Amino acid sequence: MDTLRENKFLQFLVLLAIFIVLCMIIPESEGNPLWRLPPLIQGLPLWIYDKVNFIMFDLWPVNVYDPDIEEYEQVPIMRQITRGLSGFVLFMIELIRELLLGGVKTIVSFTSWDWVTENQWARWPALPWTVVAGGAALLGYALSGWGLALFAGSAFTYIAVFGQWEPSMQTLSFVLIAAPVSVCLGLVFGVLAYKSRLVETILNPLLNIAQIMPHFSYLIPVVVFFGIGDHAGAIATIIFATPPMVRLTLLGLKKVPPEVTEAGLMSGCSSWQLLRRVQIPTARRDILIGVNQVIMQCLAMVVIASLIGAKGLGNYLLTALNSLRIGQALEMGICIVLIAIVLDRLSLAWANKQTDYFADQSFKERHKYLLIFLVIFAVGSVVAFIGSLIFKEGFNYFNLIPHNKGITTENFWQQAVDRMWEKFFYPLKSFNEWFIVDILIPIKNAYLGMPVAATFTLAMGTGFIVGGIRSALIVGGFLLFIALTEWWDRALITAYLMTISVLISGTIGIIIGTLCAQHPLSTRIVLGYCDTFQTFPSFIYLIPVMMLFGVTDTSVVIAIVVYASIPATRYTVEGLRSVPESLHDAGSMSGVNRLQRYLSIELPMSFPHIALGINQTVVFALSMVIIGALIGTDDLGQLILKSLSDAEGVGNGLVLGLCVAFIGLAIDQILRTWANQRKAALGMA
Amino acid sequence: MAPEQTNSNTTNKNEPVIRCESVYKIFGNSAKRMLQENNGSVDAEKFQQAGCIVGVNNASFEVYPGELLIIMGLSGSGKSTLLRCISRLTDATAGKIFIEGEDITSMSGRQLIKLRRNKMGMVFQSFALLPHKTVLENIAFPLQVKGISTRDSINRAKEMTDLVGLTGRENYFPRQLSGGQQQRVGIARSLAIEPDIWFLDEPFSALDPLIRKEMQDEFLRLQGVLSKTILFVTHDFDEALRLADRIAIMKDGVIEQLDTPANIVLNPATEYVRKFTEEVPREKVLRIDSVMDPVDPSAEVSDVKIPRDAMIESVAEAVLNANKPVSVVDGSGQVVGTVHASKVVSVLFGSRADNSKGNQATL
């Protein structure tokens, strides 16, 4: 009995035995609460829908003057607020969009459609793409140097030459609003949480949920409150991209050494100066990671936001994916990735820039970049003008290369896919069938065949073994919520897809990470790869696997595995590299060989960190499972996608989103508690 | 050794720059209530049981213009906490702290910022430089915060860089500098606004012994030029003896003794202080006039003359080499006493009990 109390592994085996016995003895029958709990909170979605409707349409009506009908009308205050907000966001997006692409909407918002129709000259001309690309290169040079200049310039040139200019600039205009707003909001909330314990306590659980809530479920309330269009897409993006920024700002500020803050105070800083000039710059590293996350999230939302009417690349990409035009999807995917990397590098360089106080600069030197830009602008305009003389019929390629009129490699990719299909049709098909029939379906059935009582025993028992009664209750609470909705079976399917993928990608990540951590050079390379691949929006991974496996669960699983291997690999490498050199030496002097050293020193020391990596893998996998709904799965994600087009979907969407989030949070609770305990035990806390 | 040691007789008549009146700092939620209930008599153990940690316990003292007061104590003795109460980086739980006659504990945020911008400078143990700013920007920071133009503040920062001997490294980032160089930046930053009061919180503790010695010399040189009123915190007794005009020794938040280095060594007030002083060589802390005899016109003296404020260590060789008693002179060259070699021998080699008794009379 004592050994059982001591040995957690033994406890877990006993738990597993109980679980299996429960699975066997509980019969499958609809009425049996041990088999499935009754859907007691079935009514919750409808209740949420009612409340949202009430807030939106009946709460606190105010009189508002409508200039169109020249009368006062009753508008609920919430609607008035969201209307104002939408108008503002839309105006900002249009402003940037028309700077880049030209148009009349900005002029209209200051005058009227009638005025614009009467005055045909009042058109804002598009900026020639040469000017934008040159400007990007110049910005890159000013902030960092030739390397970034070359990269930014060629990225924009690629976008133009491949005929993706218009959708790319639409996407860019939308990101250029969403990203800065998210960064600012994140900073504000991060600082507030840093200043006040109360705010932190309130924000913390919200951030936890927000981080794991699937992208789709944000869309539905946004549609209800803000309608459909670019502004709704931008607002959904902002809501999604802000939480990581808040979290990293708070983390960074907490890491500022107290003496640095004191030095700021003793220098006579007011609290604003202290924040702006001492604490935030000192927390810069983490805050920059936050900015990077924001940019990533914004571009990951490009496709998803297009579901609620955001124009741009996402829209076209989704169409291309749906009509299986892989080559086109790939080209647009590359555009999104390029925009992401350019924005990321530019923001990084901007934050690291320093001033030179020694040069006594003349007007020309101080404003040299502005002057160069004016030159680029002039040259670009002249070239565009010449272009209008050369290309007489229709399109002026020096000004704006229209969509799908550029170079395209689509045929090449399409042929490649076709050829691959011809060549590998039978092996791919048989692999696909084998994988689905012999692996996926049995596991899926096993999951669906679990009685709810057994699932609870296993999950809460694991929680109890790891973190005591507290963890057990938290895990149980999360599961209870899911079990009481009518979607327990769907949640099991989500869980099954996630479990398989996490197992595979965890194994791959740990193996690759271990191999690469053996040498400094390979470490650097693999971390570089992780950085780059992490910049790719998640759905990008769907493109190549669909080329190979079509619209099946196999595609989804493989896409998740590829995507979710990234954090597993990264954390393994980081964990192994952080084992102190002196421990290696101590091991070597005790006479261990390479494998022994790995198994007895490095792996145990780094495993807590690797467990956090697995935790991230779970988060990545969950988000990908849900995105997999875009190519057809039958889990929670599909239901969320459906509720998006449902007029009364807001409640469904939110509750489904919470279900997904709670799966993630339950696993997070167990893994994090365990990792923290191990870290504390190893003295690494 | 310390240049221009202030004569305590004259400074005592001036207004103190810093005056602490029964300052308490107790950490914990119920600190204020507990302190009131106990009427200011704090028993650390009893407080600890109630979840309060005693940082500073009833500290009262004064610091005079141009004086260098060292607060000495081991880690956890509350010395840094006391310093932070005086600079009001933390709020004292009870008591009053006057800076040039104004009560800092009741100052508004605005007054406090004004005071710090014009009167105070502080150096930190871990240097606490701003990692994103260059040497020059770090030094110019307090000036820029104050609203001085970039050009002026950078020019002033350049002067400060020269003063602390970092010329040529203006554009380095803190991470590119050694510990000693980083602390030079910290010192330059704290002096940039020309403060009257200079706080140093274990400024040299994070440095290697050789660099530490070098920085102490540098510090003495700067103090010789600038003569600030200084509050200096250290855990290193040798450092305290070497630099201080007066030393306050703290233990568990209580100031055990506050006196000149010589008096602390010769007359330790408590057992705790005595343990510190046991191993200290007397000749390093005693001035020659503490062992001199009154002038005796009839006695024969050698023609060697030594200044009365010299440490015994620095003149011992001269006294021992002379075969007659040596004259001690004051600043104006007036003979104020004589020293016999035997007195110096007894300081250098005599047993502890004897010479502390022998010296009590003269001090």
The number of CA neighbours under 13 Å toward the Cβ of B32 is 6
SS3 A65: strand
State the Cα angle at B244 between B239 and B249, rounded to 5°. Answer: 80
Are B166 and B181 spatial neighbours (Cβ–Cβ below 8 Å)? yes
Cross-chain Cβ contact A357/B124 below 8 Å: no
pLDDT tens-place string over residues A159-181: 888 888 888 988 998 889 999 99
Q: What ipTM goes with this model?
A: 0.80
Q: Taking residues A473-490, report their average pLDDT.
A: 90
Nearest to A672 by CA among A610, A627, A622: A610
Domain B8-13+63-92+104-119+195-280 has CATH 3.40.50.300: yes
B54 dihedral zone (left: phi>0; alpha: psi -120 to 50; beta): beta
CB count within 10 Å of CB A567 equals 24
């692409």: which residue's tokens?
A101
The chain-wide mean pLDDT, for chain B, equals: 84
Which residues in chain A have Cβ-Cβ distances shorter than 8 Å to B127? 259
Cross-chain Cβ contact B113/A257 below 8 Å: no
Give per-residue burial for A287-319: e unless 16+ CB within 10 Å, then b: bbbbbbbbbbbbbbbbbbbbbbebbbbbbbbbe
State the Cα–Cα distance between residues A137 and A380, nearest whole angstrom.
14
The chain-wide mean pLDDT, for chain A, equals: 84
Are B190 and B139 spatial neighbours (Cβ–Cβ below 8 Å)? no
Report, at the CATH architecture level, how domain A165-353 is classified. Answer: Orthogonal Bundle (1.10)
Q: How far apart are the first and last CA of chain B?
A: 19
CB count within 10 Å of CB B152 equals 12
pLDDT of residue A535: 67
Please say if the pLDDT value at position B106 is more than 60.
yes
State the Cα–Cα distance between residues A216 and A641, nearest whole angstrom.
7
Confidence category of residue B356, pLDDT binned at 50, 70, 90: very low
State the Cα–Cα distance between residues B222 and A94, nearest whole angstrom.
61
Closest-CA residue of A relative to B140 is A267
Which residue has better confidence, B254 or A644?
Answer: B254
Q: Taking residues B204-227, report their average pLDDT.
A: 87
pLDDT of residue B351: 58
Which residues in chain B have Cβ-Cβ distances shorter than 8 Å to A284? 131-132
Q: Taking residues B128-137, report their average pLDDT.
A: 89
Token representation of residue B347: 């300081």
pLDDT of residue A354: 61
Q: Nearest C-alpha of chain A: how many angstroms from B186?
A: 9
SS3 A103: strand
Q: Taking residues B115-142, report their average pLDDT.
A: 91
CB count within 10 Å of CB A256 equals 19
Which residue has better confidence, A109 or B117?
Answer: B117
* Least trusted range by pLDDT, from A28-37, A266-275, A662-671: A28-37
Q: Give chain B's radius of gyration (CA, Å).
A: 23
B68-72 vs B246-251, strand pairing mode: parallel
Token representation of residue A623: 């988000």
Are A165 and A332 spatial neighbours (Cβ–Cβ below 8 Å)? no
Q: Taking residues B41-67, report their average pLDDT.
A: 86
Specify the DSSP element, H or E, that contains A61. Answer: strand A61-66
Cross-chain Cβ contact B145/A357 below 8 Å: no
The 3 state secondary structure assigned to chain B is: CCCCCCCHHHHCCCCCCEEEEEEEEEECCCHHHHHHHCCCCCCHHHHHHCCCEEEEEEEEEEECCCCEEEEECCCCCCHHHHHHHHCCCCCCCEEEEEECCEEHHHCCHHHHHHHHHHCEEEECCCCCCCCCCCHHHHHHHHHHHCCCCHHHHHHHHHHHHHHCCCCCCCCCCHHHCCHHHHHHHHHHHHHCCCCCEEEEECCCCCCCHHHHHHHHHHHHHHHHHHCCEEEEEECCHHHHHHHCCEEEEEECCEEEEEECHHHHHHCCCCHHHHHHHCCCCHHHCCEHHHCCECCCCCCCCCCCEEECCCEHHHHHHHHHHCCCCEEEECCCCCEEEEECHHHHHHHHHCCHHHHHHHHHCCC
B305-307 vs B102-103, strand pairing mode: unpaired
Are A601 and A584 spatial neighbours (Cβ–Cβ below 8 Å)? yes
Please say if the pLDDT value at position B310 is more than 70.
yes
CA–CA distance from A169 to each of A102, A126, A308 (Å)?
11, 11, 18
Write out the residues of chain B at the interface with chain A, using a CB-CB cutoff of 8 A.
84, 87, 89, 109, 113-114, 116-118, 120-122, 124-134, 136-137, 141-142, 145-146, 150, 154, 170-171, 186, 189-190, 193, 199
Token representation of residue A77: 């205050």
Residues forming a β-bridge with A143: none
CB count within 10 Å of CB A412 equals 10
Token representation of residue A649: 């979907």
Are A534 and A566 spatial neighbours (Cβ–Cβ below 8 Å)? yes
CA dihedral (B12, B13, B14, B15) positive or negative: positive
Closest-CA residue of A relative to B145 is A269
Please say if the pLDDT value at position B355 is more than 50.
no
Do the domains A165-353 and A493-681 sit in the same CATH topology, yes or no?
Answer: yes
SS3 A124: strand
Give per-residue burial for A418-439: e unless 16+ CB within 10 Å, then b: eeeeeeeeeebeeebeebbeee
A580: which residues sit within 8 A by CB, 6+ positions away? none
8-state DSSP, A357: S
Residues forming a β-bridge with B250: B255
pLDDT of residue B360: 43
pLDDT tens-place string over residues A180-210: 999 999 999 999 999 999 999 999 888 888 8
Which residues in chain A have Cβ-Cβ distances shorter than 8 Å to B199? 266
pLDDT of residue B64: 92
Confidence category of residue A510, pLDDT binned at 50, 70, 90: very high
To test the contact with chain B by mutation, choose from A255, A267, A348 the residue with the greatest count of B C-beta atoms within 10 A, namely A267
Nearest to A557 by CA among A426, A648, A432, A669: A432
8-state DSSP, A403: T
State the Cα–Cα distance between residues A158 and A148, nearest whole angstrom.
15
Q: Which of B109, B124, B171 sits opposite A259 (nearest CB)?
A: B124
Closest-CA residue of B relative to A262 is B89
Token representation of residue A645: 């087009």
Q: Which listed CATH number (3.20.20.70, 1.10.3720.10, 1.20.1280.290, 3.40.190.10) goes with A493-681?
A: 1.10.3720.10
Cross-chain Cβ contact B120/A266 below 8 Å: yes
Which residue has better confidence, B78 or B290?
Answer: B78
CA–CA distance from A273 to each of A188, B108, B111, B135, B146 (Å)?
15, 17, 16, 19, 10
Specify the DSSP element, H or E, that contains A364. Answer: helix A363-366
pLDDT tens-place string over residues A542-586: 877 877 777 778 888 888 899 999 999 989 998 888 888 888 888
Q: Taking residues B330-352, report their average pLDDT.
A: 79
CA–CA distance from B186 to each of A269, B164, B199 (Å)?
16, 10, 12
pLDDT tens-place string over residues A350-409: 877 665 555 555 666 767 888 888 888 888 888 877 777 776 666 676 677 777 677 777
Residue A652 φ/ψ, nearest 5 degrees? -55, -50
């849900």: which residue's tokens?
A626
A60: which residues sit within 8 A by CB, 6+ positions away? A76, A77, A78
Whole-prediction pTM: 0.80
Confidence category of residue A38, pLDDT binned at 50, 70, 90: confident
State the Cα–Cα distance between residues B188 and B183, nearest whole angstrom.
8
CA dihedral (A135, A139, A145, A149) positive or negative: negative
State the Cα–Cα distance between residues B251 and B261, nearest whole angstrom.
17
Cross-chain Cβ contact B117/A268 below 8 Å: yes
State the Cα–Cα distance between residues B118 and A201, nearest whole angstrom.
39
Please say if the pLDDT value at position A142 is more than 80.
yes
Token representation of residue A346: 């530019």
pLDDT tens-place string over residues A605-622: 888 888 888 888 998 888
pLDDT of residue B311: 81
Specify the DSSP element, H or E, that contains A63. Answer: strand A61-66
A389: which residues sit within 8 A by CB, 6+ positions away? none
- Annotated domain spans of chain B: 8-13+63-92+104-119+195-280, 283-360
State the Cα–Cα distance between residues A70 and B269, nearest whole angstrom.
90
Which residues in chain A have Cβ-Cβ distances shorter than 8 Å to B193? 268
Which residue has better confidence, A427 or A2?
Answer: A427
Q: What is the dihedral of CA A85, A87, A90, A95, to 10 degrees?
A: -120
Which residues in chain B have Cβ-Cβ distances shorter than 8 Å to A259? 124-128
Q: Which of B131, B142, B171 sits opposite A267 (nearest CB)?
A: B142
In chain B, pLDDT over 90 holds for what percent of residues? 32
CA dihedral (A31, A33, A37, A39) positive or negative: positive
pLDDT tens-place string over residues A119-135: 777 677 778 888 888 88
Cross-chain Cβ contact A267/B129 below 8 Å: no
8-state DSSP, A125: P
A438: which residues sit within 8 A by CB, 6+ positions away? none
Domain B283-360 has CATH 3.90.1280.20: yes
Give per-residue burial for A634-666: e unless 16+ CB within 10 Å, then b: ebbbbbbbebbeeeebbbbbbbbbbbbbbbbbb
SS3 A62: strand
